[in-house]
């Protein structure tokens, strides 16, 4: 079993424990439709999560958005974020979890490492690049934080005296400049 397979299995086990009922998984055809609509491929791990765990409804706090389907989905959120407000949402950055209050966990699908980003617009930044933070260097590490209870969103972690400040996303200015 590969490390990726083991991680997907661990995520599935945790998701089943936490959810009363998980949505059905998506199909390969669903993935193809989503990627066509988005204009970019999903990272391998995200693809597997939606195909082998569920179409959203698992993960940290407010849980991953469904990829596709009725209602709010990652695909349906991406379109308006990109078209209506492209000055603050980079191309290829897929919202995967809505933290509320305008905040998102988003996956940089154009970076081979697939880092998870935090979009936090509530400070009213003069430069939208200041609203982007690196939440985790990879989706695998972000999921590991969830599985281990060590993510910043965990109350004990957030309230600890040595709580880490968010790290700015170093590529934000460059990626946002490419929007224009």
User: How does pLDDT run across 37-77, given as a tens digit for each residue?
Assistant: 999 999 999 999 999 999 999 999 889 999 999 999 999 99
Cut 0.95: pTM above it: no
What does the pLDDT read at residue 84?
56
Compute the distance between CA of residue 150 and CA of residue 164 in angstroms, rounded to an integer: 12
What does the pLDDT read at residue 33?
97
Q: Tokens for 41?
A: 């491929």
Confidence of residue 87 (pLDDT cuts 50, 70, 90): confident
User: How does pLDDT run across 89-142, given as a tens digit for each residue?
Assistant: 999 999 999 999 999 999 999 999 999 999 999 876 788 899 999 999 999 999
Domain parsing of the chain, residue ranges: 3-144+167-177
Domain at 3-144+167-177: CATH architecture: 3-Layer(aba) Sandwich (3.40)
Query: Which residue did the predictor score with more confidence, 177 or 76?
Result: 76
What does the pLDDT read at residue 88?
87
């Amino acid at each position: 079993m590969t490390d990726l397979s083991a991680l997907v299995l661990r995520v599935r086990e945790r998701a089943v424990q936490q959810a009363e009922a998980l949505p059905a998984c998506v199909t390969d055809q669903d993935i193809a439709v989503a990627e066509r609509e988005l204009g970019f491929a999903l990272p391998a791990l995200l693809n597997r999560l939606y195909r082998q765990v569920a179409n959203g409804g698992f993960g940290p706090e407010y849980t991953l958005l469904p990829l596709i389907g009725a209602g709010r989905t990652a695909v349906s959120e991406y379109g308006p974020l990109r078209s209506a407000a492209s000055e603050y949402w980079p191309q290829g950055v897929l919202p995967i979890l809505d933290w509320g209050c305008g905040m998102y966990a988003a996956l940089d699908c154009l970076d081979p490492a697939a880092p998870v980003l935090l979009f936090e617009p509530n400070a009213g930044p003069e430069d939208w690049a200041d609203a982007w933070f690196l939440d985790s260097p990879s989706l695998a590490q972000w999921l590991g934080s969830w599985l281990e209870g060590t993510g910043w969103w965990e109350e004990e972690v957030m309230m600890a005296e040595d709580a880490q400040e968010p790290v700015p996303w170093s590529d934000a200015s460059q990626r946002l400049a490419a929007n224009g």
